[in-house]
Structure 1
């Protein structure tokens, strides 16, 4: 049975902690989407190249990421690969940075597939038309194919953003002070686990709903812009 009076008490007295955790969650997601999109674009373009070893390497990367749990990937990165790399380079990495890198590597594989699908959806005739106008293959990709591919891929990229917000909750397992970690820590001291986690769930919903709404508005605006041309 949910104790709503206790839920309100927790929310009204500990909301700064929840907001801090939600801020870290949103930060993780935004950085991941930005750099994951860049990584995904690079991987998608490499897979379109004619260099077989690089194609195989990118295919193996995508297959590994899609075939293993995010938690396992994060544990490998945070407790194995990244500390070793940081030691070799003589630098220090916080757990937040390492978790962000793990999320970026994970998201990059999915973004690569999304971008590849967007590129493949563009009519090949447009590339041929661009070539007749004197555009190089690089210029065709940059000015003709990619702008349209991004529009096609935008809904799927938005879904990936929402997925990252939710999947970032896994980072509590390695001690990053994101929303789930803060809620779990609070619940372990106040012993109102359901009420505390319900507040966390509501905050996740607010974040994902806000992102989804903003992306939908952006898509509609882009469609109106296309029709006005």
Structure 2
């Protein structure tokens, strides 16, 4: 029996377990990315707020900035596997041995980990918006909140879409570390199947192919969405569709000559 026959046999025999693992992997990845984006938006907007003039509010904002900065640095600077172990077993330690629901724990861990990365992505997106747009919005009477909601955030969401898509794909792969808390994602299913049939190479090769198909397909779908949001790259001004470059140049020359008379 060659390797492909072995993989086909494993899939036929354990397909229910495999589909269950795929389902949990996608569930945590999708919800975790969405919640992480919301967390990132809130933190990114807060950290780019103007410093309040009121002394008490200014101190309060500095403290909040420090706490949020610590959160971002800690979760960006430590592996998700370690975070999962600390949060899952740390909760059990302070709760008399009662552990969190594994699915809830997985969602929580992926969400707050993603939120730390999204916070910096969003903050960078806000900073990249030109100062003139803020000044223009304030000039027409918009408050800072209105400027962020109506002017800045729509641009930020569009600009960070590739980063959000990339984070989503990373989460699909990184859910594999949640096996350390017993979460039944795709890698955990592969580990379980291998412990039954001892077909290590065939089992993990099959799962690797499934991961690749998932990430490749989702990446292509997200790129299509991104292109759709971009709209047409080229456009023409109404009335100029039938004018070639020479005609436009002649009109400009004639207009310049008339202006000198």
TM-score (norm 1): 0.92
What is the total number of aligned residue pairs between the two structures? 225
SS of 1:37 mapped into structure 2: helix
Measured at CA, do residues 92 and 65 of structure 1 come closer, stay the same or move farther in structure 2, by a change above 3 Å? Answer: closer
SS of 2:190 mapped into structure 1: helix
Structure 1 or 2, whichever has the larger Rg, is 2
Give 1:137 deviation, angstroms. Answer: 0.9
Which one has the bigger helix percentage? Answer: 1
- Determine if contact 2:92/2:99 at 8 Å carries over to the other structure: no
CA distance in 2, matches of 1:227, 1:40: 33
Corresponding residue of 1:48 = 48
Aligned-residue CA RMSD in angstroms?
2.2
Q: Which among 37, 42, 57 is matched to residue 67 of structure 2?
A: 57
- Determine if contact 1:46/1:54 at 8 Å carries over to the other structure: no
Alignment of 1:222 onto 2:229: yes
Corresponding residue of 2:122 = 115
Greater CA drift, 121-130 or 43-52? 43-52
CA distance in 2, matches of 1:56, 1:145: 24
Measured at CA, do residues 99 and 59 of structure 1 come closer, stay the same or move farther in structure 2, by a change above 3 Å? Answer: same
SS of 1:7 mapped into structure 2: helix
CA distance in 2, matches of 1:19, 1:142: 40
**Structure 2 unaligned spans of 5+:** 52-60, 236-261
Matches within 5 A, 1:176-187: 176-187=183-194
Greater CA drift, 122-131 or 91-100? 91-100
Corresponding residue of 1:26 = 26
- Where in structure 1 do 4 or more consecutive aligned residues deviate above 4 Å? 225-228
CA distance in 1, matches of 2:206, 2:139: 59
